């Protein structure tokens, strides 16, 4: 079925992270198990009916729409790869409709709530590091997976921008506001040398062992400051990203620019933030119009 070859392609050619490749691997192995149960062990014998049958089985097992859509996305990529290699003449996932996902409200912090979180870090070495992390997240809207990989040389303090090199995507340049630049500069010159110790690493944000942050470590840090700021919402790094996007939209940013800043390949992923503005407009209308 060429699964290992396909996964190697994702790593070498698509430059995907280990976590992403592992997710693709789980999806593919689950699909192969299903196909084998039907007596099929060759990619060329898989047709549209098998894909439909797989989707039906996932639905029967009460898998969520987001899970099914993710697995279908993995399969589409897999079959496109085999199509490019000439192993199949058609992509069996063509024409398969993805389940409609239930729309969820976008969770984000108000500007006042965000200001409260950003005001919490103190003037200690740890506080300076944490302040720089929080300010950078809010200033750029970058993903956690991107933030933990940032190197010192990716930050240009003089001009004020971050070069973000997301795996599998083209590099993007993200401007830094004055508060973020000030916090990062203070961290780099006053705090990072003490945290770095003897570790000769180029990674920008380090834990107290002098090593690169883990995703879990960063989540814990964010939750800690949200709690100290008295925010009851269960805070995640995605909420920081949402807050960046919503506040940009509310202050007049256009969708195309926001798409580039967030690193979305499809503008449809950016358009979800418009729903917040639409809801706000409706709320204003309902409260202001005498015949609302």
184 Cβ contact partners less than 8 Å away, ≥ 6 residues apart: 132, 135, 136, 155, 157, 176
Residue 51 tokens, joined: 């894909």
CB 154 within 8 A of CB 142: no
Q: Which one of the listed residues 108, 187, 241, 273 is annotated catalytic?
A: 241
Respond yes or no: is residue 285 known to be catalytic. Answer: yes
Respond yes or no: is residue 138 known to be catalytic. Answer: no
Say whether 125 sits in a helix, a strand or coil. helix
DSSP one-letter code for 213:
P
Q: Which one of the listed residues 26, 189, 208, 285 is annotated catalytic?
A: 285
Concatenated DSSP letters of 152-212: GGGEETTTTEEEE--TTS--EEEE--HHHHHHHHHIIIIIHHHHHTT----BSSB-TTSSB
CB 170 within 8 A of CB 180: no
- Helix, strand and coil in the chain, % to nearest 5: 60, 5, 35
Q: Count the neighbouring beta carbons within 10 Å of the beta carbon of residue 179.
A: 14
CB 63 within 8 A of CB 55: no
CB 75 within 8 A of CB 88: no
CA distances to 177, 262, 277 from 245, in Å:
15, 8, 11
* CA–CA distance, 145 with 17 (Å, rounded to integer): 9
CB 87 within 8 A of CB 43: yes
Q: What is the set of active-site residues?
A: 241, 285
């Amino acid at each position: 079925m060429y699964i290992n070859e396909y996964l190697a392609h994702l790593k070498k050619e698509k430059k995907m992270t280990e976590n992403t490749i592992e997710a693709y691997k789980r999806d593919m192995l689950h699909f192969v198990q299903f196909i084998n149960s039907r007596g099929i062990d060759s990619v060329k014998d898989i047709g549209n009916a098998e894909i439909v049958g797989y989707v039906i089985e996932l639905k029967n097992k009460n898998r969520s729409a987001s899970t099914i859509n993710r697995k279908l996305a993995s399969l589409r990529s897999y079959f496109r790869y085999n199509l490019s290699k000439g192993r199949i003449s058609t992509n069996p996932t063509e024409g398969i409709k993805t389940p409609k996902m239930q729309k969820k409200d976008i969770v984000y912090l108000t500007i006042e709530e965000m200001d409260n979180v950003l005001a919490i870090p103190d003037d200690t070495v740890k506080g300076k590091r944490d302040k720089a992390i929080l300010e950078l997240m809010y200033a750029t809207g970058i993903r956690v997976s991107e933030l933990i990989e940032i190197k010192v040389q990716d930050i240009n303090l003089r001009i004020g921008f971050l070069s973000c090199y997301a795996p599998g995507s083209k590099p993007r340049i993200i401007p830094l506001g004055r508060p973020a630049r000030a916090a990062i500069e203070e961290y780099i010159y006053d705090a990072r040398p003490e945290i770095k110790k003897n570790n000769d690493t180029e990674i920008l944000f380090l834990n107290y062992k002098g090593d690169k942050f883990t995703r879990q470590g960063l989540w814990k840090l964010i939750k800690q400051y949200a709690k100290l700021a008295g925010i009851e919402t269960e805070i995640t790094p995605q909420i920081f990203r949402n807050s960046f996007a919503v506040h940009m939209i509310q202050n007049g940013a256009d969708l195309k620019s926001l798409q580039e800043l967030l690193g979305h390949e499809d503008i449809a992923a950016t358009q979800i933030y418009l729903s917040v503005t639409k809801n706000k407009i409706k709320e204003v209308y309902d409260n202001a119009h005498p015949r609302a």
